[in-house]
Every structure is written in C-alpha cells, then in structure tokens.
Amino acid sequence: MKHISIGKWRICMPASRIGRIIIGVLLIILGFFGFLPVLGFWMIPLGIAVLSYDIPAVRRLRRRFEVWMFRRLNRCCPRLMAWSGLSRSGAQPARMRRTPPR
C-alpha cells in the first residue's frame, strides 16, 4: 500500500490511482482557500506530494525543489541541518544519495 512519510508519521493513501489523483487535486484546489477557517495553505504542498506519486512531471518538480531546499539550508544554516540530523559533515541525507550506502 502506498503511503506518504512526513517526519516520523506515515499516512496511508488509497490503493486506487484515480482516488489519489482526485485527493491531490482537491487538496490543491481547497488550499487556495487558505484564508478560510479549517482550510489552509498547508494543503497545497500536501496535494503536490500526493500527486507526485502518480504524475512523473509533478514528481520531478517536487524532487528538484526538495534538492534545492536542502542545499540552500545546508549553505545558510549548517548548524540547524546538523542539529536536525539531515546533514552530517556536509553529507546529503540518506534518501538523497544516488548510490546506496555500503
């Protein structure tokens, strides 16, 4: 079963590809109404994450942004990255490595 991992939490997604696409699109659309109570702008990145499981173009854009963000944070806030455990002595996080560790 597919799931989204956010930090230490795992959120299960529907097994149906159509269901995941509908949920992702709805999250993005409803995220634009973030000024209303209950709805929020946090729904836009969550919708993009859901869509990135099934749509390769969205996956590539999300991945480029993720790599850019980690590199930028590593440059401007190396102590924060070291404290959070995402960067150890300038190394990339395990999920960003191109080759598996030995």
* CA pair distance 42, 6, nearest whole angstrom: 13
Sign of CA pseudo-dihedral 58, 62, 67, 72: positive
Sign of CA pseudo-dihedral 69, 70, 76, 81: positive
Residue 2 pLDDT greater than 60, yes or no: yes
Q: What is the pLDDT of residues 70-93, one digit of tens each?
A: 888 888 888 888 887 776 554 455
Instruction: Find where tokens 């990135």 sit.
Output: 52
* CA pair distance 33, 80, nearest whole angstrom: 32
User: pLDDT at position 98, please?
Assistant: 55
Closest CA to 16 of 5, 28, 1, 29: 1
Mean pLDDT of all residues in the chain? Answer: 81
pLDDT band at 102; cut points 50, 70, 90: low
Tell whether pTM > 0.85: no
Average pLDDT over residues 57-76: 89
